[in-house]
Amino acid sequence: MKSIYLRNFIAIAALVSICFLVIALSFVGIGRQYVIGEFSKNMERSAAEVAHSAAAITRSDGLDSWMLRMNVCSVANAGGNQIFVADPQGKVQCCSDREAICEHIGMQIPEEILRQTEEGTLPRRGDLGGVFKGRRYVAARAVTDVNGELLGYVFVSNLAGNMLGAWSTFLTAAAGIAVVVFGIALAVTMAYTRHMARPLDEMAAASRKFARGDFSVRVKQTEDPTDEMGALIESFNKMADSLEQAEKRRSEFIANISHELRTPMTTIAGFADGILDGTIPPEQEEKYLRSIRDETRRLSRLVREMLSVSQARAKAADPSARTNFDLTELMLQILLSFESRATKKNLDVDPQLPDDHLMVRADKDAITQVIYNLLDNAVKFARPDSCLVIKLYKDDGKVYVSVKDSGETIPPEDLPFIFDRFHKSDRSRSLDKDGVGLGLYLVKTILNSHDEDIAVKSQDGETEFVFTLPLAN
C-alpha cells in the first residue's frame, strides 16, 4: 500500500508538471507569435524604405538600375529578408539575390496579388502566385511618386525557419533552464512532503507502541503549534498524556480495589477459619460473627457504590436525560433531608439562596446525587456546633453552588487527589471507616460529563466545594 508521503509526492509532482507544461506551452505559443510579429513589422519597415528609395531613384533611372539593386541588397541584408521590386505590370525588375543573373528577374506576379497589395489585403503568408516554391511570410508595398502615380511594387519575404532561428536557440536554453528548475522543484517537493509526512509516521509508530501498552512515546513538536499539523501533534501528545494517566489510574484502581477487597475478605476468611477450627472459643463466636457481618456489608457497599459510579457516569453522559429544573427548589428539598442529621450534631445551616428561582439545564437525578454527596461529606466532617453555609449565585452565564463547612483542614498535598477514586488519607476528612473513597469521585465524574467543573479549597479549618452548572436557555 502506498504511503501518504508517496501519494502526496505524486500529487504535488503531477501538479508541478502540469503547471510547467501549461506555462511552457503558453510561453512557446505566445513567444512564437511575438517573434513572428516583430519580424513582420521589420519586413514592413524594409518594404517602406525600399519603396521610398525606388520612388526617388526612378526619377532619373529605371527600376532595374544597379543603384536600386544595391539599395535593395543593403536593406535585405540588414533585415535578413529577400526583396523583389516589380514594375506596375507585376514583372520583377530587381532582386536582392547576389547572383549576377537572378532567376527571379522577369517573373510575373499575378494581377490578384498586385490588386491585394494596393488594397492592403495581401495575406501575411503565401507563395506570391508561384514565385516562391513554398509558403513564406510576405510584406508588400506599392511604389508611387509624389503625385500618387503607381511606379511599381516592393515585396519583402522570409522563411519561418529564418525568422525563428534565434528563437529556437533561445528555446533550447530556456528548456534547459526549465529542466533544472523542474528538477529543483521536484527535489523541494520530495523534501517538503517527507517533512510533512514525518510527524504522521511518528504518530503511526507511537500508536503501534500504544497498542502494545507503551504510553511513554511522544511525537517531537517541530511544527508551528498554531498551524494544522502543529495542532495535530499537540493534540496527539495530549492524548498520549491522557492515555498514560488513564493507564496509571487503571493500575492504581486495580491495586486499590484489590486492597479494598482483600482486607475484608481476609478478615472474613480468618474469622471463619477461627470459628471452624476452634481457635475462637464458642463464647466469642458471636463477636466475630458480627465482625464477619460488618465486613460483608462493607463489601456489599463497595460493590454497590462502584455500580452506582458506573451507572451515574453513563446516565450523566446522555444529553437526552438533561432537562430544565429549578435548582433553588432542589437545594431546599435536599437540605430538608439532612435536617435530622444536622440537628443531631447541633449544626447551624445557613442557606444563602437567591429570592428568584435559578433554572438550570442538567440531569436532575445526577445533580441531586452531586449535592447530596457534598452535603453528606460536609455534615460528616463538620465540627459539632459549627455552621454549614450553602450558597447559590449566578455569574457570567453560569450558576455556582458552594458548600462550606468548618472542621479539620485538608492537607494541601491531599487536595489535588481528593477527587480520585478510592483516595483516602488518614490525615484528612477521609478518616471515615465506612467510606470507600468513591463519593467525591462520583461528584467529579458527573460534573465532567456535563462539561462542568468543581473546585475545593481548605484553609484555617474551613473547607469549601464550589461547582458550576449551565443556566437554562
CA 407, 408, 413, 418 dihedral sign is: negative
* Residue 117 or residue 253, greater confidence: 117
Q: Which of 14-18, 135-139, 171-175, 467-471 has the highest mean pLDDT?
A: 467-471
Model pLDDT, residue 468: 94
- CA dist., res. 241 & res. 219, Å (int): 11
In the predicted model, is pLDDT for residue 311 greater than 70? Answer: no
Count of CB atoms situated within 10 Å of the CB of 120: 9
Model pLDDT, residue 428: 41
The tens digit of pLDDT for each residue in 82-139 reads 888 989 888 988 888 877 677 778 888 888 888 888 888 888 888 887 788 878 888 8
In this prediction, what percent of the chain has a pLDDT beyond 90? 15
Longest dimension (CA), the chain: 161
Averaged pLDDT score across all residues of the chain:
81
Structural domain boundaries in the chain: 4-167, 320-470
- Burial (0-12, 13-18, 19+ Cβ within 10 Å), 174: middle
Q: What cell numbers appear for 232 in the block?
A: 495535530
The arithmetic mean of pLDDT across residues 325-330, rounded, is 93
The tens digit of pLDDT for each residue in 396-438 reads 889 999 999 998 888 888 888 888 766 655 434 443 445 556 7
What's the alpha-carbon Rg for the chain, to the nearest Å?
51
Round to the nearest angstrom and report the end-to-end CA distance of the chain. 51
Model pLDDT, residue 165: 65
* Residue 257 or residue 237, greater confidence: 237
Superfamily covering domain 320-470: Histidine kinase-like ATPase, C-terminal domain (3.30.565.10)
The arithmetic mean of pLDDT across residues 367-377, rounded, is 90
Q: What cell numbers appear for 407 in the block?
A: 472542621
The tens digit of pLDDT for each residue in 31-89 reads 777 777 778 888 888 888 888 888 888 877 888 788 888 888 888 888 778 888 989 88
Model pLDDT, residue 317: 62
With both helix axes pointing from N to C terminus, report the angle between 285-316 and 364-381 in degrees, rounded to the nearest 10: 140
Q: How confident is the model at residue 181 (pLDDT cuts 50, 70, 90)?
A: confident
* Beta strands at 387-395 and 348-352: parallel, antiparallel or unpaired: parallel
CATH topology of domain 4-167: Beta-Lactamase (3.30.450)
- CA dist., res. 57 & res. 49, Å (int): 12
* Beta strands at 348-352 and 125-126: parallel, antiparallel or unpaired: unpaired
- CA dist., res. 313 & res. 387, Å (int): 32
In the predicted model, is pLDDT for residue 256 greater than 70? Answer: no
The arithmetic mean of pLDDT across residues 352-363, rounded, is 89
* Beta strands at 387-395 and 398-406: parallel, antiparallel or unpaired: antiparallel
